[in-house]
Chains A and B, each alone.
Chain A
């Protein structure tokens, strides 16, 4: 026995050494190859160029806008509204404070107003297009707008780099949270405040001026809750109602696509499972069909379907459904091939026909696999539906791309991201709970 084994072969010790040497080489070669590939990719992606082109100022705008908002205090220097002071959040027309309602850090004064900025800085709008800025540790700046140009009167010495001045424009950036800009057409002061402005109630809502305590107390009055809900739901700045619908559309796409695909591919998978198939032809045809549906991919399906059906949740749902019929068909038929034949045989012995055998002999065996796959894809399709929505123009994906394209409503972007993450995590936990219950049985 041993003679036949070692005959003409290397001694075991040598073979073992050779094996170890090969493994050691592999252990060294794999990381080297990966590193070489990453180095190639760094060149292919032009990493150095990206570092040069990166707009870090964009990043800082974005990060600030995520959690804070600007209030604009504006005085037009010419035209119809010259001399009047307007206070508006983000300079937006539908977020303009009514006279006398402005935040506490803006105090009206004869012919102008006084604006307190963080760090003890005070900006005073004076009559005759004059502006005075007092900065502690620096001094007082006076800016006068005349028809000839803008004149800056600064303390002695060279101008610090937070001041930029020319004949037509003076800009001051005394700190991160505030900015002052004077042009011939208008004088503006910006001040950042933390939070998402007017998230619950807009300025025209009767509930806006109240504190949360007062709002809670008001809830006891009849009709107050409905009115609050109405003002919140139709909020003209955040559009909560529309956002909820969009989020609903996205979940709808995922739900219809996943469940629809499961319902279609369950009967189909019987045709493609080796132990149920009607023959080689049906098996081959259905299997290649799944490969085709999966290979074409959601992206191409989305493009083709949106040509035919136009943008919207139905297009997204059908695109998800077509791709997932491919994945489910494959998974389900594999599950069917792995079942225990004995239960089916037992049913056959009692005289049950094919449908009954499938219902009582097969489905109970594959149900846990099917349900857990469907639930898993349901969760991951909620994410896909966001992406598909961005392409076809439906659901939260559309809102997201729209607000990113405008490049200024970053607080909306944050809102949508938070919403998507919450919904996906909710789907995750619901599907996990159902899966655990199904597998444990009840």
Chain B
């Protein structure tokens, strides 16, 4: 018994080594082929995209920097007017930020409720969990521009359609993230509260919320950053705010480039400022209260 397991070892190792090498080679060939296929697909896709574009990349390359150059030179000539232009766009900027903030609040609240209802361990009606998750998937999948454009038809232009559209999408994405956080919550406080007769709302508010609040807030702040960008973009398709100003500014073309540059700069500064601020707050939320 012990004899057989020790003595034929050299033969066995040789066979194993050969098999191992063959397996490794097979795997390498397979991944090389996959990689080659992927590279081919990737390169071919660029060609297709280039082909279907109005102007080809190589053909347009010489004039690539014409627009930024004109924009910069005209702005440089009118530099004194830039602060006044930027100041005049502040109300539009505030509207964009308001759209993002309200939709984050509304979407976050709806997402929080749906997340708790769709988390298996916490759901008051476990039978509904699957349905609610599909609903969250669908709200996440519909691009906000679709909802905004349809609502502009019904409600007219302005911030409300954009707000509803972004809030809808926020509900889906925050709902999913929130429910992932809630899944990891410690259930003992919930059971403790249940044992003293607390209702579902009380259990959620007093046992789950304190556990998930830092992560939820952090996700909501991240979403706020994204929503500012989204609300600027929706302004561009007709929902008001800084995006609308941007569209008007670039539609005027030469002679009004300073206007466009002012809006670009304002939007850029806002996005960077909000990113930095929310990054700092999120760091504090996740790492505890140490400043």
Interface residues of A (CB under 8 A from B): 34, 37-38, 41, 44-47, 50, 53-56, 58-59, 62, 249, 252-253, 255-256, 259, 291, 294-300, 303-304, 307-315, 317, 383-384, 386-387, 390-391, 394, 397, 400-401, 404, 407, 413, 416-417, 420-421, 424-425, 428
10 chain-A/chain-B pairs, Cβ below 8 angstroms: A37-B102, A38-B102, A45-B102, A55-B153, A252-B45, A308-B63, A308-B65, A309-B53, A401-B237, A417-B146
Question: How many whole Å from B148's CB to the nearest CB in chain A?
Answer: 9
Establish whether residues A420 and B143, one from each chain, have CB atoms under 8 Å apart when the complex forms.
yes
Asked if B68 CB lies within 8 Å of chain A CBs, one says yes
- B133-174 residues with Cβ-Cβ distance < 8 A to A are 137-138, 140-146, 149-150, 153-156, 158-160, 163
Question: How many whole Å from A423's CB to the nearest CB in chain B?
Answer: 9
Establish whether residues B55 and A256, one from each chain, have CB atoms under 8 Å apart when the complex forms.
no
Candidates B98, B153, B246; contact of A45 at CB < 8 Å: B98
Asked if B272 CB lies within 8 Å of chain A CBs, one says yes
Question: How many whole Å from B211's CB to the nearest CB in chain A?
Answer: 15
If A46-B158, A311-B54 touch, whether A420 touches B141 (CB-CB below 8 Å) is: yes
Question: How many whole Å from A391's CB to the nearest CB in chain B?
Answer: 6
Contacts of B262 in A (CB 8 A): none
What residue of chain A has the Cβ atom nearest to residue B54's Cβ?
A310
Candidates A308, A417, A421; contact of B64 at CB < 8 Å: A308
Asked if B125 CB lies within 8 Å of chain A CBs, one says no
Interface 9-residue window, one of B6-14, B188-196, B263-271, B282-290: B263-271
Knowing that A50-B156, A295-B271, A394-B52 touch, tell me 16 more A-B residue pairs with CB under 8 angstroms: A44-B95, A46-B158, A55-B154, A55-B156, A59-B154, A298-B229, A300-B267, A307-B67, A309-B53, A310-B60, A314-B52, A384-B143, A391-B237, A407-B153, A417-B142, A420-B142
Contacts of B158 in A (CB 8 A): 45-46, 50
If A54-B155, A407-B153 touch, whether A387 touches B102 (CB-CB below 8 Å) is: no
Contacts of A58 in B (CB 8 A): 153-154
If A34-B105, A256-B49, A303-B250 touch, whether A44 touches B141 (CB-CB below 8 Å) is: no
Establish whether residues A298 and B145, one from each chain, have CB atoms under 8 Å apart when the complex forms.
no
Contacts of A53 in B (CB 8 A): 155-156
Question: How many whole Å from A79's CB to the nearest CB in chain B?
Answer: 34
Candidates A391, A407, A421; contact of B233 at CB < 8 Å: A391
Candidates A38, A45, A400; contact of B160 at CB < 8 Å: A45
If A50-B155, A308-B63, A308-B64 touch, whether A317 touches B143 (CB-CB below 8 Å) is: no
How far does the alpha carbon of A296 sit from the alpha carbon of B271 in the complex, in Å?
8
How far does the alpha carbon of A427 sit from the alpha carbon of B237 in the complex, in Å?
26
How far does the alpha carbon of A214 sit from the alpha carbon of B260 in the complex, in Å?
61
Shortest beta-carbon contacts, A-B, top 10: A312-B53, A310-B54, A310-B55, A314-B53, A424-B141, A307-B67, A295-B272, A313-B49, A314-B49, A386-B143
Establish whether residues B267 and A317, one from each chain, have CB atoms under 8 Å apart when the complex forms.
no
Establish whether residues B98 and A44, one from each chain, have CB atoms under 8 Å apart when the complex forms.
yes
Contacts of A417 in B (CB 8 A): 142, 146
Asked if B48 CB lies within 8 Å of chain A CBs, one says yes
Contacts of B141 in A (CB 8 A): 383, 420-421, 424-425, 428
Asked if B57 CB lies within 8 Å of chain A CBs, one says yes
Candidates A41, A54, A308, A400; contact of B102 at CB < 8 Å: A41
Contacts of B207 in A (CB 8 A): none
What residue of chain A has the Cβ atom nearest to residue B169's Cβ?
A383
Asked if B232 CB lies within 8 Å of chain A CBs, one says yes
Establish whether residues A50 and B54, one from each chain, have CB atoms under 8 Å apart when the complex forms.
no
Question: How many whole Å from B286's CB to the nearest CB in chain A?
Answer: 13
Question: How many whole Å from B68's CB to the nearest CB in chain A?
Answer: 6
If A45-B160, A299-B229, A420-B142 touch, whether A62 touches B154 (CB-CB below 8 Å) is: yes
Establish whether residues A45 and B275, one from each chain, have CB atoms under 8 Å apart when the complex forms.
no
Question: How many whole Å from A254's CB to the nearest CB in chain B?
Answer: 11
Establish whether residues B150 and A387, one from each chain, have CB atoms under 8 Å apart when the complex forms.
no
Contacts of A407 in B (CB 8 A): 153
How far does the alpha carbon of A245 sit from the alpha carbon of B95 in the complex, in Å?
37
Establish whether residues A256 and B237, one from each chain, have CB atoms under 8 Å apart when the complex forms.
no
Contacts of B48 in A (CB 8 A): 252, 313
Contacts of B45 in A (CB 8 A): 252, 255-256
How far does the alpha carbon of A390 sit from the alpha carbon of B235 in the complex, in Å?
12
Question: How many whole Å from A16's CB to the nearest CB in chain B?
Answer: 17
Question: How many whole Å from A259's CB to the nearest CB in chain B?
Answer: 6
Contacts of A256 in B (CB 8 A): 42, 45-46, 49
- B19-76 residues with Cβ-Cβ distance < 8 A to A are 42, 45-46, 48-50, 52-55, 57, 60, 63-68
What residue of chain B has the Cβ atom nearest to residue A417's Cβ?
B146
Asked if B101 CB lies within 8 Å of chain A CBs, one says yes
Asked if B219 CB lies within 8 Å of chain A CBs, one says no
How far does the alpha carbon of A421 sit from the alpha carbon of B271 in the complex, in Å?
28
Establish whether residues A391 and B236, one from each chain, have CB atoms under 8 Å apart when the complex forms.
yes
Establish whether residues B229 and A421, one from each chain, have CB atoms under 8 Å apart when the complex forms.
no
Contacts of B243 in A (CB 8 A): 299
If A311-B54, A313-B53 touch, whether A294 touches B143 (CB-CB below 8 Å) is: no
How far does the alpha carbon of A315 sit from the alpha carbon of B46 in the complex, in Å?
11
Contacts of B65 in A (CB 8 A): 308
Question: How many whole Å from A326's CB to the nearest CB in chain B?
Answer: 10
Establish whether residues B50 and A314, one from each chain, have CB atoms under 8 Å apart when the complex forms.
yes
Question: How many whole Å from A311's CB to the nearest CB in chain B?
Answer: 5
Contacts of A397 in B (CB 8 A): 145
If A44-B98, A317-B49 touch, whether A421 touches B149 (CB-CB below 8 Å) is: no
Contacts of A295 in B (CB 8 A): 268, 271-272, 275
What residue of chain A has the Cβ atom nearest to residue B67's Cβ?
A307
Establish whether residues B49 and A387, one from each chain, have CB atoms under 8 Å apart when the complex forms.
no
How far does the alpha carbon of A315 sit from the alpha carbon of B60 in the complex, in Å?
11
Contacts of A400 in B (CB 8 A): 145-146, 149
Contacts of A249 in B (CB 8 A): 49, 52
How far does the alpha carbon of A34 sit from the alpha carbon of B65 in the complex, in Å?
45
Most chain B CB atoms below 10 A, which of A47, A255, A387 = A387
Contacts of A308 in B (CB 8 A): 55, 60, 63-67
What residue of chain B has the Cβ atom nearest to residue A303's Cβ?
B250
Establish whether residues A404 and B150, one from each chain, have CB atoms under 8 Å apart when the complex forms.
yes
Most chain B CB atoms below 10 A, which of A45, A62, A416 = A45
Question: How many whole Å from B126's CB to the nearest CB in chain A?
Answer: 23
Establish whether residues A390 and B237, one from each chain, have CB atoms under 8 Å apart when the complex forms.
yes
Candidates B68, B98, B105, B232; contact of A299 at CB < 8 Å: B232
How far does the alpha carbon of A324 sit from the alpha carbon of B15 in the complex, in Å?
49
Question: How many whole Å from A109's CB to the nearest CB in chain B?
Answer: 40
Contacts of A41 in B (CB 8 A): 98, 101-102
